[in-house]
Amino acid sequence: MKRRRKNKRNRGLLLVAFFVVLATIFFTKIVGNSLLGDKDKPEALISSEQPSQEKTNGEKSEEVIQNQEMLILVNKQHAVDASYIPEDLAPIKYFASDRSAQSRFMRQEASEHFHQLVEGAKESGYELVMTTAYRSYEFQNTLYTNYVNKYGQAEADTFSAKPGQSEHQTGLAVDISTPTVQYRLTSELGETAEGQWMAEHAHEYGFILRYPKGKEDITGYQYEPWHLRYVGQPAADEIYEQGITLEEYLEE
């Protein structure tokens, strides 16, 4: 009799212990999971919750960087380093043969659009050629020094950039002329049919007239109907439609 009671009591204790263990496991799982933070989750779970954010941001950053390169501002207040040389300079097909061969280059994207611009002008019956495009820091230094020696610094500063302050060093600027003005860089170009065509259509190819008439106080340079600057689109369209300079566009 005593033995039966003892066995029954042992089975009761085992049942109690069993339910205590189940309760402990259940409580630990529920409370433990509620205390877990993102840093405790498996990496696969975190990735599945944010599958495309980093990739999207990366692609956007690359696009922004590219646009910023095309919109780089170089003027009397913003200079580039003497050692700066664009890595993707490409040769230009349409040029004045009596000018320096070292200047017959632009950045790849700009050169392709320049060729399209020249070919577009040809379809309209006009001949345009490059007289100078890329200039190294050293080339600009020599050019500027010669102008200062000939005209004095005050006058030279109205039409020539100091080394490091020239857009030509970026590989995005090009000086254009035509046989109508004997391939000279002259304000008379703006009065010719070729010059007027450029002023009206350059933006269609991603270029702007960089130093327009009446904006000398903003650009710091005299009117230059021959100097085009590649900025890409839609920036060129916006600048043309608003009749503003690159400085004003970037301020907006």
Question: pLDDT by residue (tens digit) across 103-120?
Answer: 999 999 999 999 999 999
Conformation bin of residue 62: beta by default, left when phi > 0, alpha when psi is -120 to 50: alpha
Lowest model confidence (mean pLDDT) among 19-28, 134-143, 180-189, 232-241: 19-28
Would residue 218 count as lying in a domain? yes
Give me the chain's average pLDDT, please.
Answer: 82
Task: Show the domain range for 40.
Answer: 2-49
Q: Are residues 134 and 41 in the same domain?
A: no
SS3 44: helix
Q: Which residue has the higher pLDDT, 61 or 69?
A: 69
Q: Are residues 127 and 247 in the same domain?
A: yes
Residue 55 has pLDDT above 50, yes or no: no
Q: Are residues 158 and 239 in the same domain?
A: yes
Q: Which of 156, 176, 159 is nearest to 103 (CA)?
A: 176
Per residue in 133-172, pLDDT (tens digit) is: 999 999 999 999 999 999 999 999 999 999 999 999 999 9
Q: Which residue has the higher pLDDT, 14 or 58?
A: 14
Q: Are residues 106 and 218 in the same domain?
A: yes
Q: Are residues 24 and 143 in the same domain?
A: no
Q: Which residue has the higher pLDDT, 40 or 207?
A: 207
Instruction: Specify whether the CB–CB gap between 131 and 185 falls below 8 A.
Output: yes
Per residue in 213-243, pLDDT (tens digit) is: 999 999 999 999 999 999 998 999 999 999 9
Torsion angles phi and psi, residue 110, rounded to 5: -65, -40
Give the per-residue pLDDT at 246: 98
Give the per-residue pLDDT at 3: 47
Q: Are residues 28 and 151 in the same domain?
A: no
CA-CA distance, 67 to 61, in Å (whole number)?
A: 10
Q: Are residues 45 and 84 in the same domain?
A: no
Residue 13 has pLDDT above 70, yes or no: no
Q: Are residues 45 and 83 in the same domain?
A: no
For the chain, the C-alpha Rg in angstroms (whole number) is: 35
Give the per-residue pLDDT at 39: 30
Specify the amino acid at residue 194.
E
Instruction: Specify whether the CB–CB gap between 238 and 249 falls below 8 A.
Output: yes
